[in-house]
Structure formats: structure tokens, C-alpha cells
Amino acid sequence: MILIVSTCRYSLSEEEFVRPIVEIVQDCGFDYEVRRYSERIEPSEYSKIIICGTALRDFDYLIYIHNFTQLIDYDGTVLGICAGYQILAKLFSNELEEVKKIGVYDVKVVKDNPLIDKDTRSYFLHKFSLKKTNELLEPLAMQNDEICVFKVKSKEFYGVSFHPEVLNKEIIVNFLRL
């Protein structure tokens, strides 16, 4: 069972940021459940977790970061998209920087990984990102000086600062096949 976490404060935003993820998961034949960021979850009930993005000015999910601390001990696989990327970065003690980016930009793969195998163009819509990491995260792809894809070194947790549901659906499919 796949858990899809909505980080959207307003349900209308879920049409843009959650529904496309649900459709990809359905197309791949997986059972899933959608939960909201404000709910406590038990990660061990799920084989994979996808934490979706949200609107550019919606940061309410950061007030509920404590709801995600159980992920630190989770042995499954996690994909954090935009807001989910930010949540994973903060859970593993990284500081986000203000990096406002809206539009399509080139992404350069800097380390072999199972999600993205070649340089590509991706759709970005965020206000915060990472330009450096601590020793717990490993950069996998860059957009200029921004770390736009990372892996938590000790886990199968991945963060992407862009929105793969827009231009790079294969990243989500590759994650589901891990």
C-alpha cells in the first residue's frame, strides 16, 4: 500500500498537486491511501510514501513537521516532492535557503541513481530549497547551484525540489518500482 501525503492547506490545491500523483499511482496498479499533513501517520503500515507538493505560498505543513518525525525510523521508501523535499531536508537537519524558482529549467544529474538517469528539463515552483547539505544527504541532481534531487544516505528516501508530475512522470514511476 502506498501512502500519498497531501501538504495542501486548501483542498482545491489538491487538484493540482495531489490528483496527478494519485493518477500515476493508479496507472501503475498500486493500492494507495491519501492522508493530510496535519494527520499523524504510522509509516510502517505502508511500503512506500509520497509526500506531495503544494502551492507557492502555502507553508502550513511546516507547522506540522512533528507529524513526520516517525519517518526517521521508517525502513520503507519515501519520495518528497517540493514541500516533501523540504520536509525531508528539515527532518535530516538541513537548513533551507530562499530560492524562489518558477518555470522550466535544466536539471543536471551529478550521481547515478534509480530515479533519474539523464539530464532533463523540469518544472519548478518553490520558494525554498537547498544549496548545500550536511553529511546525511547526498546530492543526485543540480539546477545551477541548487540541489534539486537528493537521497538520504542511510535510507531509500529521495527529495526532488521540482514537480515531476508535470514534466517527469517517469521519476514517480521509477520510484514506485524501487
Domains in the chain with CATH codes = 2-176 (3.40.50.880)
The CA distances from residue 113 to 44, 110, 157, in Å, are: 25, 9, 12
Strand-pair category, 77-81 with 137-143: unpaired
- What is the full DSSP assignment across 2-57? EEEEE--SSGGGHHHHTHHHHHHHHHTT--EEEEETTS---GGG-SEEEE----TT
Which residue matches cell numbers 524558482? 101
pLDDT of residue 107: 98
Q: How confident is the prediction along the chain (178 residues), in pLDDT tens digits per residue?
A: 999 999 999 988 999 999 999 999 999 999 999 999 999 889 999 999 999 999 988 989 988 998 999 999 999 999 999 999 999 999 999 999 999 999 999 999 999 999 999 999 999 999 999 999 999 999 999 999 999 999 999 999 999 999 999 999 999 999 999 9
pLDDT (tens digit per residue) in 103-137: 999 999 999 999 999 999 999 999 999 999 999 99
E strand or H helix that includes residue 109: strand 97-109
